[in-house]
Structure 1
Amino acid sequence: RSTTDKRVVNTVLTDAGREILSTAPTMLHEEFISQFEALPDWEKTQLLTSMQRVAFMMDAEKIDAAPILDLRSDPTR
């Protein structure tokens, strides 16, 4: 537990957890980025334009999609 904020619980990944994590499949967004970057420029532009149109149609520019998760490199803070 944090010494400055008792609501914060610090955790540490064990060696067993690291081993399991090392065999986990690639994160979906990493695979997407890899495949997206391999597309020709015209296709990237087409996809981006289409997604922007869908977001506009859904009124998504008014949505605050900022992540809530706080990932800290120093768990003692």
Structure 2
Amino acid sequence: MDTQEILIKIRKIVRSIDIESKKIQKEYGVSIPQVLCLSYLRESPNYQATQAQIRRYVNLNSSTVSGIINRLEKKGYLARLPKAGDKRVANIVLTSSGDELLKTIPPLLHDQLSRRLEKLGEDELLKLESGLESLVALLDIDQVDASPIIMLGADSEPHGYL
């Protein structure tokens, strides 16, 4: 395979992430990290979590997650409730409006990829992982922090993810 073909395939992945991010933002008025935050709450016990739990899930810094929560709260998609017994901590709760929004948003690339990866055999997964490890080494980006949720511009909330 020509090296140009490899670069084109990588660019297709990056471009697809960017296109999806812009489409979700335009059509639904929320960013991918905001969708991920709401989705996390939907899957959490009693549809609620602390800001720290959300931060760990989306793997973004505290101030970015705080901004995401503030914007979603202003839109009525989530609410802050004082934690029983500890008024210093608030539980972030998914509202019915937030749940309704999630029902309208189509499956994200991240979810589609995750489901498809789970269907691959062990040998295929190892081969894929090896190829990606080689790319990471070639780009000398081993030291870059990352979570299982792949996002473009992870420090700036309006960007995409995979």
Q: CA deviation at 1:64?
A: 3.5
More helix as a share of residues: 2
- Describe how 1:1-77 pairs up with structure 2 within 5 A: 10=70, 11=73, 12-13=76-77, 15-65=96-146, 68=155
Query: Structure 1: 5+ residue runs without aligned partners?
Result: 1-6, 70-77
Give the number of equivalent residue pairs. 63
Provide the identity percentage: 25
Q: Name structure 2 gaps, 5 residues minimum.
A: 1-62, 78-94, 148-153, 157-162
Q: What's the C-alpha RMSD, in Å, of the aligned pairs?
A: 2.8
Aligned-pair distance for 1:55? 0.3
Q: CA deviation at 1:61?
A: 1.0
Deviation at 1:18, TM superposition (A): 3.3
Inter-partner Cα distance in structure 2 for 1:42 and 1:18? 38
Change (3 A) 1:64 1:41: closer
Q: Normalised by the size of structure 1, how large is the TM-score?
A: 0.61
Tell me the secondary structure at the aligned position of residue 34 of structure 1: helix
Structure having the higher strand fraction is 2
Return the offset for 1:34. 0.7
Range that drifts further, 11-20 or 36-45: 11-20
